[in-house]
Chains A and B, each alone.
Chain A
Amino acid sequence: MLELRDVALSLKGRVLLQAFTLTVEAGEVVTLMGHSGSGKTSLLSYIGGDLSTAFEASGHVMLNGVSVQNLAAEARGIARLFQDDLLFPHMTVGENLLFAVPRMPQTERLAMMRTALQRAELEGFEIRPPHTLSGGQRQRVALMRALLAKPKAILLDEPFSKLDQSLRQQMRAYVYTHITARNIPALLVTHDRDDAPKGGRVFEISTVGELHRV
């Protein structure tokens, strides 16, 4: 469960987000919409723990009841997906996945990596460089890599916007299925209404920085 309590955000005195409170349940994907420059991505940075010092932000970020906003980004256990897949270009697909696997005996790590490859429907792609994969394949690897780290929450920053229309539909289903199956709370930021999962909660940021349920 991801809770945001009294979270507010402003940039050089200009209010981007008025204080709001939001709870994302385990396995739920909550969608956040807003015009560009509305502070959607900055909000994700605040939650993730790498917001630039240029912003002023306040409020609690709680994961399963524990406050994490004073922890370093890597200690929070919050995974991120962006519109670019951001697979590390100097590593093979397999190495990219292994990077996310926590410390444990090598045979177990390899086994987890292979399972992830299977789930990405990419068996046999282990030693391929990322740039030889298609956009959809890469985005699947990116999701599997994020999930391998066993995150307590996942933040999605327009992860489908660079895919073409037909692929987009497939990827949405793929991503939401895997997130729900693992019971991870997820926050999706997008400007495309269609990205929101069916029946999921959708919020919109108004021009004055208020959060409204749509």
Chain B
Amino acid sequence: MHNRTALWGAIPLALLFAVPLVFSLLLLAPRLLDAKSFDALFEHPQFWGGLSLTLITGCISTILALLFAVLIVMGTLSAFRRSNALFLAIPHLALALGLGFVVAPTGLLARMFVGGSSPPDWQMAQDPAGVGLIVALVLKEAPFLVWAMSSVLYGNELRQRFEQEALVARSLGHGPRSTFFKIILPQVLPRIIWPLVAVFSYGMTVVDMALVIGPAQPPTLAQLIWTDLNDGEVFANARGAAGTIFLSAVLMLLLTVAWVTWSFLRPLIRSVMTRPAAIERNTAFISSLIAGLWLVVYAAIIFALILQSVSQYWPYPLLVANDYSLKAWSTALTNPQPLFTSLVLGVVTSGLSLLAVVSWLETQPSQRDRLVLPLVLVMLCVPALLVSLGQYRLLLLLGLTGTWSGLLFAHLLPVMAYVFIILRGSYRGYDQRWQAVGSGLGAERIRFLRLVKWPMLKAPLLSALAVGFAVSVAQFVPAQLAAAGRFSTLPMEAVTLSSGGNRALISTYGLLLMLLPLVGFGFAAWFSRSRWDNA
């Protein structure tokens, strides 16, 4: 609203997000001119193989995740929504580990259904085509997209509109599925573009999952880069940095191509969507089947993690281990400091981000989002590794490495980006007529915000907070760099202790890493229930 804009509202987002991010990126600019490292990258024997694997796994996993998400949303959502906190909370790494424990040649499936003295020659995890990685990504990302879509569908305000439109469509003789494809989906898809971009970027640049369940010879490009960046040699580091820049460029290119294609195909897709009468019958069944499948797989994964966390020597083909021990749990719990640090960081960063983003959205005209979106895009699309490096250089310059504020700042950038993306759609989509009604009733701005707007946007506000918290808790690379050994967070502890391959410890930390976000999402889900849901 024109008469409600104020420049001061932009200050928190600018100071806490935009300015430091721009400086971080500027500090990386010299790398762009490093032609020698780019040559070395292209000459790497695994470069082309890695690139094609990255493209295959990134694209296929995104398309499948979207497809399954749509199929789930189309049918009954209730069961899925209730367990969605679980789906969202499980960290990518824990999911990959758990899935590995289930499908590997010596995993639970083989032990249950194959047996024999030696494990079968399955190639389910670390297979050369990357199928294991694709499966893991789809399992993890589809619920995220379901969540993004249901936030749009069940937002207090759009819900009413969708319900009315669905009513009209039904009165014109369309069944519920056809209504979904014709009326609802075309409106929902444009609103989840950003979550979709995040999913795609993640699929293209994921390192931790790929290390666990992805192919090795050649590895994906992101793994290749990760190995280089972790090398002690300056030459390899430079090649890794060149790789990161290259990967980011590929990603941007693909996103542009996708965008252009979408603009062309949009009318076409719409016309296809207006006649899906044939699929009318079986969709509810398919939806619940898929949702059920997800529940079963997640349950199996969590069960496998719990079992591994207490199992000791457990050779194939034993169905259960010979020895059990709580040693891993006691190792993890005797040092609660990292858990506490992660908790405090998560609460502070998600809270600060919410304040900064709401302050921006409430005071800046929507056209001004164009200034912030490219930066958010950078945070979402550029591999976290690259941004973290620039951010680390900035912290070094400011002398903030190893300090609490440096650590906080390192967590703040990615959290802010996610909070912005999640909140922007609902906040900007908020019908201005509500404001007109409020003003017409004489309500001052703060009264309107407090009693009308924020309560109506309660669900997206709480979701943003919960996602921000989860993103903060999951940070590893930036945390590791900024902490300089002075602080330890939960993922740092998990990764370092896990480097010895002790599965009981890995599983224990996987479960612990899941716990914090689970509590966060649980809170958000509980408090964002509509007042009328109980009745």
B-binding residues in A (CB < 8 A): 45, 48-53, 72-80, 82, 84, 86, 88-90, 99-100, 102, 129, 131, 145-146, 148-149, 151, 155
Contacts of A100 in B (CB 8 A): 441-442
Bound complex: CA A144 to CA B535 (Å): 26
Give A74 to B455 CA distance when docked, in angstroms. 20
- Contact A149–B442 (Cβ < 8 Å): yes
Most buried by A among B2, B156, B436, B451: B436
A41, chain B: closest CB distance, angstroms:
10
Residues of B within 8 A of A76 (CB): 439
Q: How far, in angstroms, from A131 to B439 measured CA to CA in the complex?
A: 23
In contact, A131 and B444 (Cβ under 8 angstroms):
no
Q: How far apart sit A100 and B438, CA to CA, in the bound complex (Å)?
A: 9
Interface check B499, CB cutoff 8 A: no
Q: List CB contacts (< 8 Å) of B514-535 with chain A.
A: 530-532, 535
Q: Which of B428-463 contact A (CB under 8 A)?
A: 432-445, 448, 451-452, 455-456, 458
Given the complex of chains A and B, what is the CA–CA distance between A99 and B455 in angstroms? Answer: 14
Residue of A nearest to B163 (CB): A131
User: For residue B161, which residue of chain A has the nearest CB?
Assistant: A84
Q: CB distance B433 to A84 under 8 Å?
A: yes
Q: Are A90 and B440 in contact (CB under 8 A)?
A: no
Chain A residues with Cβ under 8 A from B439's Cβ? Answer: 48-50, 72-74, 76
Cα separation A77 to B443 with both chains bound (whole Å): 10
In the complex, which residues of chain A have a beta carbon less than 8 angstroms from the beta carbon of B456? 88-90
Closest to A102 in B: B442
- Would B2 and A51 count as touching, CB distance under 8 A? yes
- Minimal Cβ-Cβ distance residue in A for B435: A50
Besides A73-B435, A80-B436, A89-B156, 5 other A-B contacts (C-beta < 8 A) = A48-B439, A79-B440, A80-B433, A82-B436, A131-B532
Identify the closest chain A residue to B532 (Cβ): A129
The answer on a CB contact under 8 Å between B3 and A78 is no
Q: Which of B156, B365, B441, B531 contacts A145 (CB 8 A)?
A: B441
Query: Once the chains are docked, how many angstroms separate the CA of A78 from the CA of B455?
Result: 24
Residue pair B440, A99 in contact (C-beta under 8 Å): no
Q: Within 8 Å CB of B531, what residues of A?
A: 90, 129
Q: What residues of chain A lie closer than 8 Å to B438, measured between beta carbons?
A: 74
- Are A99 and B436 in contact, CB atoms less than 8 angstroms apart? no
Q: Which residues of A contact B434 (CB under 8 A)?
A: 86, 88
Give the contacts of B105-124 with A (CB-CB under 8 A). Answer: none
* Alpha-carbon gap, A129 to B535, bound state (A): 10
> How many angstroms from the CA of A145 to the CA of B156 in the assembled complex?
21
Indicate whether A53 sits within 8 Å of B440 (C-beta atoms), given known contacts A89-B456, A131-B532: no
A-chain residues with CB within 8 Å of residue B156 when the two chains form the complex: 89-90
CB distance from A66 to the nearest CB of B (A): 16
- Contact B440 A80, beta carbon cutoff 8 Å: yes
A99's partner among B3, B435, B441, B444 (CB-CB below 8 A) is B441
Output the nearest chain A residue to B448 by Cβ-Cβ distance.
A74
Complex formed: what's the CA distance from A73 to B436 in Å? 8
Interface SS of B by simple majority: helix
- The answer to whether A53 and B455 touch across the interface, beta carbons within 8 angstroms, is no
Interface flag for B160 (CB, 8 Å): yes
> Which interface class (under 10, 10 to 19, 20 to 34, 35 or more) fits B?
20 to 34
B433 A49 Cβ-Cβ under 8 A:
no
Assess whether B397 is interfacial by the CB under 8 Å rule: no
Q: Is the CB of A49 within 8 A of B3?
A: yes
Query: Which residues from chain B contact A86 at a C-beta distance below 8 Å?
Result: 433-434, 437
Bound-complex Cα distance A52 to B438 (A) = 17
Name B2's contact: one of A48, A52, A148 (CB within 8 Å): A52
How far apart sit A90 and B440, CA to CA, in the bound complex (Å)? 19
Q: Evaluate contact between A50 and B1: CB separation under 8 angstroms.
A: yes
CB distance from B435 to the nearest CB of A (A): 6
Q: Which residues of B contact A53 (CB under 8 A)?
A: 2, 365
- Kindly identify which residue among A45, A75, A102 contacts B436, using a CB–CB cutoff of 8 Å: A45
Tell me whether A82 and B433 are in contact (CB under 8 A).
yes
The answer to whether residues A79 and B441 also contact, given A49-B3, A86-B434, A99-B451 and a CB cut-off of 8 A, is yes
Q: How far is the CB of A154 from chain B (nearest CB, A)?
A: 8
- Within the complex, which residue of B3, B437, B452 is in contact with A80, where a contact is CB–CB below 8 Å? B437
**Nearest B residue to A55 by beta-carbon distance?**
B2
Point out the residues of chain A lying under 8 angstroms from B436, CB to CB.
Answer: 45, 48, 50, 73, 80, 82
| Contact A78 to B532, CB < 8 A, known contacts A86-B434, A88-B456, A89-B156 | no
Please measure, in the bound complex, the distance between the C-alpha atom of A148 and the C-alpha atom of B440, giving whole angstroms: 11
> Is there a chain A Cβ closer than 8 Å to B157's Cβ?
yes
In the complex the two chains form, what is the Cα distance from A49 to B437 in whole Å? 12
Tell me whether B157 and A89 are in contact (CB under 8 A): yes
- B440–A78 touching, CB < 8 Å: yes
Expressed in whole angstroms, the Cα–Cα distance for A82 and B156 within the complex equals 18
Residues of chain B with a CB closer than 8 A to A52's CB: 1-2
Taking a contact as CB atoms under 8 Å apart, the answer to whether A89 and B442 are in contact is no
Q: Is B1 a contact of A77 with CB atoms below 8 Å? A: no
B452 touches A146 (CB 8 A): no
What is the chain B residue whose CB lies nearest that of A88? B452
In the bound assembly, the distance between CA atoms of A50 and B458 in angstroms comes to 24
A10 to B434, CA, bound (A): 24
Q: Can you list 24 A-B contacts (CB < 8 A)?
A: A50-B3, A50-B436, A53-B365, A73-B3, A74-B438, A74-B439, A74-B442, A74-B444, A74-B445, A74-B448, A75-B442, A76-B439, A77-B442, A79-B440, A80-B433, A80-B440, A86-B437, A88-B434, A90-B530, A90-B531, A99-B443, A100-B441, A129-B531, A155-B440
